[in-house]
A and B are shown apart, each in its own frame.
Chain A
Amino acid sequence: MPQDPQLRSHGHALRTPLLALGIGLAVLVLGLATAGYPPLPALAALWRGALGSPDAILSALLPRAIPLILIGLGIGLAFRAGAFNIGAEGQFYAGAIAATWVGLALGTWPRLVAVPTVLLAGFAAGLAWAAVPALLRVRFGVLEVISTLLLNFVAEALVSWMVLGPLQESKHTYPQSDPLPWAARLPQFPGSRLHLGLLVALCLALALWLFGRRTLAGFQLRAVGLSPAAARVMGGVRPERFFAAALLVSGAFAGLAGASEVSGTTFALFQNLSPGFGFTGIAVALLARLHPLGIVATGLLFAGLEAGAGAMQRDAGVPAVAVYVVEAVVILTIVLADPAARRAGAAATDPASR
C-alpha cells in the first residue's frame, strides 16, 4: 500500500525528540541537585503548576500554549522552506502593537466583527514586519537569520516607545496601553483564562498539516527547503518565491500570536509582553521536527514547563529560568542528532546553496 511519505518512519521520527526531552530533563535534575535543591519536590511543584489542577491547565498551561503553538507553526513552515526566521519575537510585538491600536479604536463595533479585525491586524503587521527581511534576502542577498534577529530589537524599542507615546494609557502614568474594550477581546471560557485563540491555533495547525501533506505547493515548499537548485531545475518552481512566502506567513503567524495574546490574555500592551515566546517557538518547532501536529504537542509541553516553572519558584524556591535550560538542551540535542536540522543550519549560512 502506498504510504504518505511524510509519515514514512513514524517511530524513527519520535526517537530524537524523546531523546532530546529526556536529556533536557536529566540536565535539569542534575542542575537542581548540584545547586542544592532537592530535585523531587522541585519536580513535584513543576508538575502541580502545569497539570496539578483543572485551573492550572485551563488558566496557566493552555493560555500559554496558544502563542507558542502559533509561533511554532510559522517557524516550522519557514524552516521547512529553508527560511531561518529568528525574528518571531519582533513579529509578535508588531502584531501586538497593531492589534492594540486597532482594538482600542473599535470599542463601538460588534464583537463578532471587532475581534476578527483585531486578529487580522496582528496577522498583517507580523507579515509586514517579516516582509523587510524577505525583501532584503530575495533582492539583496542579506541573510534572513541576521535581519530577522536584528528586527527583534527594533520591535521591542517600538513597543517601549508606543507605551510611552501614542498608545500610553489615558492618565499617562504607566508605561502601558489602555485596556482593550470588551468588543475587541477574544471570548474566554467561563471561569478561566483560556480563550478562543486556542481554537484558532488548532485550526491553523490542521490547515498547515493538510497543506504540507496534501497540496502540491506544500510539497514544493519542502523540496525548496531540501534543495533549492533541484527544485528549480527539476521541479520548475521559483525557490525564492516559496522562500519569501514562507517567511511572510511565519511572520504573520507570529503577529497573530501577538494579537491573540493582547486580545485574549493581557488585554493591554506593555513592555516585556512576551516572555520570549519568539525564541521558545523555535524550540517548539524543532522538537516537533517541524510537523504541524507535533508542534501542537510540543507547544503544550513547553507551555507546561513554563507554567510549572512559576510554581517551582513559589513552592521550591527554584528560579523559574531553570526550565529554559531544558529548552536550550532540547535545541542543542535536536540540532546535533538530526542531520536535516544541521543541514538546514548550514544552508542558512551559505547563500550559495540557494
Chain B
Amino acid sequence: MPAALLTLTAIRKRYGSTEALKGADFSLARGEIHALLGENGAGKSTLMKIAFGLVQPDGGRILVDGAEVIIRNPLAARRLGIGMVHQHFTDIPVFTVAENIALAAGWPPSGRGLRDRVRRLAEEAGLPLDPDALAGELSAGLRQRLEVLKALAGHARILLLDEPTSVLPPSEADTFLGLVQRLRDRGVATVLITHKLQEALAVADRITVLRAGEVIQTGAAQSERPETLATAMLGTAPARPAPRIRAAVGEVVINARDLAIPGAAGGGTGIRNASFQVRAGEVVGLAAVEGNGQRELLRALAGLARPARGTIQVTGPVSFIPEDRTSEGQIGELSLTENLVLSQGRAAPWAQHGWLDWPAAGRRAGELLERFDIRAPGPDVAAERLSGGNQQRQIIANAMERRPRVLLAENPVRGLDLRATAEVYDRLRRAAAEGAAVLVHLPDLDDLLDVADRILVLAAGELIPMPEGAGRDLIGRTMLGTRGQAAAG
C-alpha cells in the first residue's frame, strides 16, 4: 500500500447539539482520486473543511506525509500543499483569470511575468485557460477550471473538491471529471466530495462512504456496486411501516401540469417537467437531494415564483413554511405579535379595512403561545430572542392561523432537536387530518417516509411519483438517479 499523503484520524466535531463528525478516519494516498460519498449532512464537507483549516476539529489528528500537523487556517493548508475548490464559485467576476489566480496565490497582481506564470501553471496542470479572459465571462465549466487552477496555484499536491459538478450542467460535468483524472496522472491526489454515486464510480480509485458523521466503509472503487453504496449512504433502516394509505382524502387542491421552473441563480436544476396532484387530507412527501428543484417547486406553488411553462392550480389559503427561519420565516427584530400580523396580511380580523387593532392582535398572539406551546415571556418579545425550536413553533402557529387548505413546508425541522422535530411532524399530520393538503420536503428520507402518506421524488428536475407502498430502497435509488441500474442489475 502506498504511503498516505493525508491522513485524518478519529476526527470529531460538534455544532451545538449535533455531532457532525463522530470520530471519522480518512486517508488519501499519493496519486489517487478518492471519492467521499454521503448524503447531505453526513459530514463530508465538514471533514474536508477541517483538512483545509476552515474548521477546527474538537478531537483527532491530522497527518501530512506522515507528520502530524495542526492546520489553523487555509493559508497553513496551502503551505502544506493542500488546495480546495468550494461548492460555489469564489472568483471575482470583474478580474481576469490571471488576476484571480494571483489574488488566490498571493502573487504580484500585474505585469507580463504574471501572465506567463499563469500560462505555465495552466499548461502544467493540463487545464488550458486564457489568462486575459474575465472570470465573469467564462462558462460554468471554465470558471470551475479557474477554481481548480486557483487551488493548485500554490504548488498543491492535494486537491479537495467539494461537490465540484453541482454548479455544472451535465455535459460540462463529464468534461470536468475527465480533467480531474488527467490531474491524477500529473501526480495530484484528489478528494472528490459528492453525493452522486455515478460520479464516484466513474472516476474514483477508492470510495469512502460517510453517514451521520461516521465512516461506514472504505474500499476500491472497482469492487463497489451502486446498490451497496446506496445502502451504505442511506443506511439500512429498521423496518418501518409502509406509507399509510388514507381513506379520507378529499378533493384535489393542488393541480400542477407540465411545469417547468427555471433554477435559482447560482445552482440547482430547477424543474424541467412536473405534473401531479395533491388532495385535501393527505401528506405528500417531496423526496430530493439538495438542489434538485424542490426549492423552486415549493416556491412556485406558494406563488413566490412564476413557472416558465405549465399551469398551477392551488386552492387557497396557502401557507408556506420556508427552510430558512431567520431570513424568510420571520423577522427577528419584530415581536411575536408583529410577526403574526405580518404573516396574516389583510385577511386578519385585526386588519379591518387596513387599520390595525394591535391589542386584538396581541391577544391572539398570546393565545397562540399557549396553543402551540411556544416558550416565550410574552407576545411582545422579539422573535430573535426565542430558541430555534420555539421560533419554529411560532412560524408554524402563524402558518396554521391562516387555516390553510394547502400547507407547503420546506425542511421545517432544520436545526431542531429530536423532540422539536417530532412535534413538527405531528403538527403536519394534524394539519392534514383537519383537511389541509400538506406537501413537505425533508432531507431525511426515513423521516419523510414516517410523515408522508405517499412520496414524490424530484431527481434532476424531473418529478417521479412513487407507487403506493414504495420502499425506501426504491425511493432512495430514484433520488440518486440509479433506478435504471438497479432494475438492470
Contact = CB atoms under 8 A, between A and B. Distances in A.
A234 interface: yes
B307 interface: no
Contacts, number: 84
Interface stretch (B150-158, B194-202, B230-238, B324-332): B324-332
Interface string B371-385: 000000001100000
A235 B380 contact: no
Interface string B454-478: 0000000000000000000000000
Contacts of A4: 358
A237 B342 CA distance: 9
A238 B323 CA distance: 20
A51 to B, nearest CB: 37
A230 B330 contact: yes
Contact of B334 (A216, A226, A229, A233): A226
Interface string A1-39: 111110010000000000000000000000000000000
A148 interface: no
Contacts of A214: 355-356
B52 interface: no
Nearest to A236: B345
B88 interface: no
B337 interface: yes
A215 B358 CA distance: 10
Contact of A223 (B329, B331, B354, B395): B331
A216 B327 contact: no
B335 interface: yes
A180 to B, nearest CB: 38
Interface in B356-411: 356, 358-359, 361-363, 379-380, 395, 398
Contact of B380 (A3, A227, A236, A237): A3
A233 B346 contact: no
Interface residues of B, number: 34
A220 B339 CA distance: 10
Contact of B338 (A1, A217, A219, A237): A219
A232 interface: yes
A108 to B, nearest CB: 41
A8 B334 CA distance: 11
A232 B395 CA distance: 15
Given A214-B356, A215-B356, A216-B355, A2 B362 contact: yes
Nearest to B395: A234
A2 B345 contact: no
A234 B395 CA distance: 9
A2 B337 CA distance: 10
Interface string A206-233: 0000000011110110010011011111
Contacts of B333: 226, 340
A234 B329 contact: yes
B428 interface: no
B253 interface: no
Contacts of A216: 341, 345-346, 351, 354-356
B356 A230 contact: no
B338 A234 contact: no
Contacts of B330: 230, 234
Contacts of A1: 359
Contacts of A227: 327, 331
Q: Which secondary structure dominates where chain A touches chain B?
A: helix
Given A230-B327, A230-B329, A219 B341 contact: yes
Contacts of B329: 230, 233-234
B335 A5 contact: yes
B362 to A, nearest CB: 3
B343 interface: yes
**Max chain B CB contacts within 10 Å: which of A5, A220, A231, A235?**
A5
A234 B334 contact: no
Nearest to B402: A236
Contacts of A233: 302, 304, 320, 322, 328-329
Contacts of A217: 354
A234 B327 contact: no
A2 B354 contact: no
Contacts of B339: 234
Given A230-B327, A230-B328, A219 B354 contact: no
A4 B358 CA distance: 7
Contacts of B341: 216, 219
A8 B380 contact: yes
Contact of A235 (B345, B359, B361): B345
Contacts of A219: 338, 341-342, 356
A217 B353 CA distance: 11
A233 B399 CA distance: 12
Nearest to B320: A233
A4 B380 CA distance: 9
A261 to B, nearest CB: 33
Interface string A227-268: 101111111110000000000000000000000000000000
A237 B327 CA distance: 15
Contacts of A5: 334-335, 337-338, 358, 380
Interface of B: 302-304, 320, 322, 327-331, 333-335, 337-339, 341-343, 345-346, 351, 354-356, 358-359, 361-363, 379-380, 395, 398
**Which 5 A-B pairs give the minimum distances between C-beta atoms?**
A2-B362, A233-B328, A235-B342, A2-B359, A227-B331
Given A2-B359, A236-B303, 17 more contacts: A3-B358, A3-B380, A5-B338, A5-B380, A214-B355, A214-B356, A215-B354, A216-B351, A219-B338, A223-B338, A230-B327, A230-B329, A232-B328, A233-B322, A234-B322, A235-B342, A235-B343
7 contacts: A5-B334, A5-B335, A215-B354, A230-B329, A231-B342, A234-B328, A234-B331
Interface of A: 1-5, 8, 214-217, 219-220, 223, 226-227, 229-237, 340
